[in-house]
Amino acid sequence: MSSGYETIPAIEETSAATDTKPTTMDDLLSAYRKPEGEYSILEFDVPAGIHVYNTSRQFTLGGEAYILGRTEKRDDQFSSKVIPFKFVATSNKWVADSSISNLNKLTAGKIMQDPQISHVGGEWVVNCIEVQLKDKDDPSAGCVYWTNIFSGERLDDLKLLTKSPETMKCVRLVELENGQVGVFTRPQSLGNPSRGGRGKIGFCVVDRLSDIDATVLHEAPLMYDLFGDEEWGGVNDVRLMPDGRLLALGHIARFLTDSPIEGDREYHSIVFEFDPYKRVIGNVRMVSKVEDMELERLPFEIEPKEQYLNRVEYPSALGPEVDLQSDSVVLLKSVRDSVQVMQSIPNPVAP
């Protein structure tokens, strides 16, 4: 369906902050309604002590359902790897299957986290966060991180397209209606709001996938419509809607300053619609909170990896598909950095 929009300039100048009051977490909480849908925990066939969470969206290859998962030892976040998993209906489990991709070879020996996958310009695009310890013998010394973007016509022939600047996560790519590529970013620069502060969403457009590099990602104009100064967030998944707008699934987060737990924080799932041609955000809604899941109903306890993760959920995708006429949609998300959950929520774009 054609919108009749003109071609977008490949790179826009960085915009300055405006006086417009942004949508904050308190705004979204005041309008939030608890979803009543069912949910289930994804089962992964992995060794004891290994956890899989912060997965990609589900995708299909050769008629089989796959996801990419962040896989790590429960007590060591720096042991993390990104592994493809295939759904096996007979066991109702997701089973590791690295044969479909050369991602394991590309990332061997590296700390890789939080994958996402999309299809842009006839190519597969896989994003992963690479983490590098400042001192390999002392993880407490801190780390640096950035996003690696791999692309290829086949998943078993991926190549490194580019790396983001340091401290940038949530780089998400989507093919627009006119064939150009929309690029969401999330730079972070503490004490420097003009470069993202605690973490704001950026967006730009390029003509083709090969145009994306660290400079393009760095210069993507920021959106000041979302998140207060002490909040942060990003886009976790994005889909093109029939009218040319984008449906973005993301998260909003902040520290809980009144909590006795050091570093305590809350992360919630949000959606918004975005016009990439006019750069207009609309219909921002909070769609899920981990506190609403009635976790006591489960046959086992979902323990957070750290106490400060007790109120953290991290969305992965809506779908596999989003039917505009359906009353509900599946939200794929991680809970407490421990498990991956599928939850039915009201369709955010239903008429």
11 occurs within a structural domain? no
20 part of a folded domain: no
Question: Could you tell me the pLDDT band of residue 192, with boundaries at 50, 70 and 90?
Answer: confident
Structural domain contains residue 12: no
Confidence of residue 2 (pLDDT cuts 50, 70, 90): very low
Indicate left, alpha or beta for 140 from its phi (over 0: left) and psi (-120 to 50: alpha). Answer: alpha
Domains identified in the chain, total number: 1
Q: Residue 295: what pLDDT?
A: 64
pLDDT, position 16: 41
Answer yes or no: is 34 within a domain.
yes
Residue 15 in any domain: the answer is no
Model pLDDT, residue 291: 87
Evaluate whether residue 307 is within a structural domain: yes
| CA-wise closest residue to 349 among 268, 272, 244, 290 | 272
Give the CATH number for residue 121.
Answer: 2.115.10.20
Q: What is the pLDDT of residue 17?
A: 47
pTM: 0.91
- Mean pLDDT is lowest, of 76-80, 99-103, 124-128, for 76-80
Residue 282: C-alpha distances to residues 171, 178, 270 (Å): 20, 21, 12
What per-residue confidence (pLDDT) applies to 8? 33
Domain range spanning residue 308?
25-346
Sorting pLDDT into bands at 50, 70 and 90, what band is 298?
low
Rounded to the nearest 5°, which phi and psi values hold at 347? -65, 115
Tell me the pLDDT band of 297, cut-offs 50, 70 and 90. Answer: low
Question: Which residues have a Cβ under 8 Å from the Cβ of 256 and sit 6 or more positions away?
Answer: 264, 265, 266, 311
Q: Is the pLDDT of residue 324 over 50?
A: yes
Which pLDDT band, with edges at 50, 70 and 90, does 5 fall under? Answer: very low
Do 226 and 233 meet the contact criterion of CB atoms below 8 Å apart? yes
Other beta carbons less than 10 A from residue 14's beta carbon: 14
Under the banding of pLDDT at 50, 70 and 90, the label for residue 60 is very high
Q: Ranked by mean pLDDT, which of 247-256, 295-304, 305-314 comes out on top?
A: 247-256
Average pLDDT for 293-299: 63
Query: Residue 238: inside a domain, yes or no?
Result: yes
Mean of all residue pLDDT scores within the chain: 90
In a domain? residue 18: no
- Asked if pLDDT for residue 276 goes beyond 80, the answer is yes
Q: What tens digit of pLDDT does each residue of 115-160 get? A: 999 999 999 999 999 999 999 888 888 899 999 999 999 999 999 9
